[in-house]
Amino acid sequence: MNAAEKLGETAAETGSRSPSVVLIDDHELVLEGLTRALTGDGMRIAAAFLDGTAALRFLTGGAPEAAAVDLVVVDLRLGDQSGVQLVEQITMQRPDLQVAMLTTFEDRAAASAAVRAGARGFLLKDSLCAELCTGLRKVAEGHLMIDSRLAAAVLTPQRTMLTDHELAILNLVAEGLSNREIGAQLHLSAYTVKDYLSRAMRKLGTTTRTATVLRAVREGLLQEPV
């Protein structure tokens, strides 16, 4: 058992109501530092991984502790793995999770790509500890949190608010397809389609399928249905 797991156990034993977090970074010292910071802020570390493959296996394995996870924090660069691709895999297979990307690089292109892949946060490791913890808590609650040094590039244009999966689903909603029909085309369950559509509605501030499509058209995210 590594230090991250030990500290996660200590936090879990407190019984406090706090976000359950999975950390993914290919540097063990970073994992230990993040674990100390987040558990010190009252969050619980469900697991910490040095590679994305093991993390994805855990998150999709059906274990009760995995099902209870609220937030996944992913490093941008994971050795030979792409953090952005891992974010896309996680959000595709576990759309119920909130995902934040953490990095040392002020990479605007990577930040935009991460948000399109489904990340709800893109934060820099050199942030003050209190700011980082607050940002990750906000992401766990479903807020979009982008480091202020990158926010302008990521949040403009409006298109970056919606992920590629959400846009694909909205295009098919605009064609009049049901959730089941959309799922069949995209190889997703109807439940997963509904979850993605609900996320798009929250982001666009709408409550119905028709209103969501119309808002997306007005924002230039979709072409007007023929």
pLDDT in tens, 18-37: 899 999 999 999 999 999 99
When pLDDT is averaged across residues 110-135 and rounded to a whole number, the result is 88
Rank 15-19, 42-46, 154-158 by mean pLDDT and report only the highest: 42-46
Q: Give the per-residue pLDDT at 136.
A: 96
pLDDT at 151: 74
Indicate if the pLDDT at residue 13 is higher than 50.
Answer: no
Residue 164 sits in which domain range?
Answer: 159-218
Verify that 30 and 140 share a domain, yes or no.
Answer: yes
End position of a domain, from candidates 155, 170, 188: 155
Give the model's pLDDT for residue 146: 87
pLDDT at 212: 87
pLDDT band at 155 (very low <50, low <70, confident <90, very high): low
Is residue 167 scored above 80 in pLDDT?
Answer: yes
Lowest mean pLDDT among 122-126, 134-138, 146-150, 179-183: 146-150
Q: Which of 155, 174, 202 is where one domain is finished?
A: 155
Residue 194: how many CB atoms within 10 A of its CB? 17
For residue 207, the domain's CATH number is 1.10.10.10
Choose the weakest-confidence range: 14-18, 36-40, 58-62, 177-181: 14-18
- In this predicted structure, what is the pLDDT of residue 4? 40
pLDDT band at 222 (very low <50, low <70, confident <90, very high): confident
Tell me: do 58 and 143 sit in the same domain.
yes
Instruction: Decide which of 113, 137, 155 is a domain's last residue.
Output: 155
Give the total number of structural domains in the chain: 2
Residue 208 has pLDDT above 80, yes or no: yes
Query: What's the per-residue H, E or C state across the chain?
Result: CCHHHHHHHHHHHCCCCCCEEEEECCCHHHHHHHHHHHHHCCCEEEEEECCHHHHHHHHCCCCHHHHCCCEEEEECEECCEEHHHHHHHHHHHCCCCEEEEEECCCCHHHHHHHHHHCCCEEEECCCCHHHHHHHHHHHHCCCCEECCCCHHHHHCCHHHHCCHHHHHHHHHHHCCCCHHHHHHHHCCCHHHHHHHHHHHHHHHCCCCHHHHHHHHHHCCCCCCCC
**Could you tell me the pTM of the whole model?**
0.67
Assign 153 a pLDDT band (cuts: 50, 70, 90): low
Angle among Cα 38, 43, 48 to the nearest 5 degrees reads: 65
